[in-house]
Amino acid sequence: MDALPLDQAIALKADQAFDLAALQTYLDASAPSFGKIEMVTKFPGGYSNQTYCLQTASQEWVLRMPPKGAQIQTAHDMSREYRVLNLLAPHYQKIPKPLLLCEDTNILGQPFYIMERFSGVILRAGNAPKLGLSPETMQSVSTALINNLVALHALDITTTGLAQLGKPEGYVNRQVAGWTKRYQAAQTDTIESIDQVAKWIAENHPRAQAPTLLHNDYKYDNLILDPNNLSNIIGVLDWEMATVGDPLMDLGATLAYWFEAEEESVFKIYNLSWLPGNLSRQQLVEHYAQATGRDLTDIVFYYVFGLFKNAVIAQQIYHRYQQGNSNDPRFGALLPMIQLLGTTSASAIEKGKI
């Protein structure tokens, strides 16, 4: 069998470049052993924080910073994401080790941090044809995905110090209120289904679950897989929204990305959950319930909230584009996706099914 293609960074576009000389000067003073940066490339995908590969003579590093024009502070808080990685590092081996944090915006115009690079396979729509993903492979990979989420939720937030990442009491209520407020602040068009969903989630809060660590963006393209065994997850990326709270909010976020083969959805390009062999949403839920013993009676709420949150995130990005703070054509095409998320979540409420 040929070697599977590892996730690769690509050449920068003109609007993605930053002041390399300023970064090198900063690193020479703050991390003298870092060495001279010989090449800068950018990892594909991502509508949120920007991820660059810094190559020196001896090693590759990853630099993360917010996109230009970003004003959504909680979604682009580099200090917090760096803190999450530092807290997790002693207790969870599947994260890149953080190297340094720079909060001085005079260097690159934005705060940023640098971490080690994990090399492996990331399941993206663009590389799927090259991976030869059989139904048997996707069954084992999707099973590994849900097993790893169970493991994350099993971390003891008290003994690890992770409890300091959030305030679990009232978490769901705050999330519903907060994301509804964010949607209203970024709204550009009237979307009746989104308004209906916002009203429903405000009126149908579930029973509280014991708090755990939450990743909050747990899906295939945030997982690094072992090229010799794709069912072995060697890394979990993008901890920008991590916190502590109701674990079913995390599961609901994963389900909200999990579009299936028979569903006509433009979102299939964002997650390979539709490939033959993947566990279905219902199978993921059943597997999680059996592994954790948690009561998933209210899973429709968590799924609907996950869809709603995705719609709000897309709306914030679309609003940024409409305001002239980005010229990325992908952002200008988000309105139909936001509308689809609204109708999908409204349909789940009506049917009472995920």
Which residues contact residue 213 at a Cβ distance below 8 angstroms, ignoring those fewer than 6 apart? 152, 153, 155, 157, 162, 165, 242, 244
Task: Kindly report, residue by residue over 288-324, the tens digit of the pLDDT.
Answer: 999 999 999 999 999 999 999 999 999 999 998 888 8
Q: Decide if 121 is inside a domain.
A: no
- Decide if 118 contacts 207 (C-beta within 8 A): no
Residue where a domain terminates, one of 89, 116, 143: 116
Q: 107 with 142, same domain? A: no
From 348, 350, 342, select the one nearest 255 (Cα to Cα).
Answer: 348
Residue where a domain terminates, one of 116, 149, 177: 116
Give the mean model confidence (pLDDT) for residues 271-284: 96
Measured between alpha carbons, how far is 316 from 312 in angstroms, rounded to an integer? 6
Q: Decide if 297 is inside a domain.
A: yes
Task: Assign 85 a pLDDT band (cuts: 50, 70, 90).
Answer: very high
- Decide if 176 contacts 202 (C-beta within 8 A): yes
Distances (CA, A) of 191 to 141, 154, 188, 197: 36, 38, 9, 10
Give the mean model confidence (pLDDT) for residues 60-78: 74
Task: Kindly report, residue by residue over 149-167, the tens digit of the pLDDT.
Answer: 999 999 999 999 999 999 9
Measured between alpha carbons, how far is 88 from 65 in angstroms, rounded to an integer? 20
From 294, 199, 223, select the one nearest 252 (Cα to Cα).
Answer: 294
pLDDT at 7: 77
Q: Decide if 345 is inside a domain.
A: yes
Q: 257 with 323, same domain? A: yes
Q: Decide if 301 is inside a domain.
A: yes
Q: 298 with 329, same domain? A: yes
Q: 344 with 300, same domain? A: yes
pLDDT at 196: 98
Task: Kindly report, residue by residue over 213-240, the tens digit of the pLDDT.
Answer: 999 999 999 999 999 999 999 999 999 8
Name the pTM for this structure.
0.89
Q: 64 with 153, same domain? A: no
Q: 64 with 151, same domain? A: no
Q: Decide if 4 is inside a domain.
A: no
SS3 category, 322: helix
Q: Decide if 80 is inside a domain.
A: yes
Q: Which residues pair with 212 in a beta bridge?
A: 245
CATH number for the domain spanning 65: value is 3.30.200.20
Asked if residue 75 has pLDDT above 70, the reply is no
**Element spanning 102, H or E:** strand 98-102
Task: Assign 5 a pLDDT band (cuts: 50, 70, 90).
Answer: low
Q: 111 with 137, same domain? A: no
Number of domains in the chain: 2
Asked if residue 104 has pLDDT above 70, the reply is yes
Q: 253 with 139, same domain? A: yes
Q: What's the mean per-residue pLDDT of the chain?
A: 91
Asked if residue 94 has pLDDT above 60, the reply is yes
Strands 212-214 and 229-236 turn out to be unpaired
From 99, 74, 271, select the one nearest 181 (Cα to Cα).
Answer: 74
Q: Decide if 310 is inside a domain.
A: yes
pLDDT at 47: 58
Query: From the CA atom positions of the chain, what is the Rg in Å?
Result: 20
Q: Which residues pair with 245 in a beta bridge?
A: 212
Q: 295 with 202, same domain? A: yes
CATH number for the domain spanning 296: value is 3.90.1200.10
pLDDT at 3: 56
pLDDT at 4: 66
Domain housing 87? 14-116
Q: 221 with 255, same domain? A: yes
Q: 35 with 66, same domain? A: yes
Q: Decide if 29 is inside a domain.
A: yes
Which residues contact residue 37 at a Cβ distance below 8 angstroms, ignoring those fewer than 6 apart? 20, 23, 24, 27, 54, 55, 56
Residue where a domain terminates, one of 116, 136, 164: 116
pLDDT at 1: 41
Q: Counting Cβ atoms within 10 Å, is residue 217 exposed (0-12), middle (13-18) or buried (19+)?
A: buried
pLDDT at 252: 99
From 229, 263, 236, 245, select the one nearest 305 (Cα to Cα).
Answer: 245
Q: 55 with 173, same domain? A: no
Of the segments 172-176, 186-190, 327-331, which one has the largest average pLDDT value? 172-176
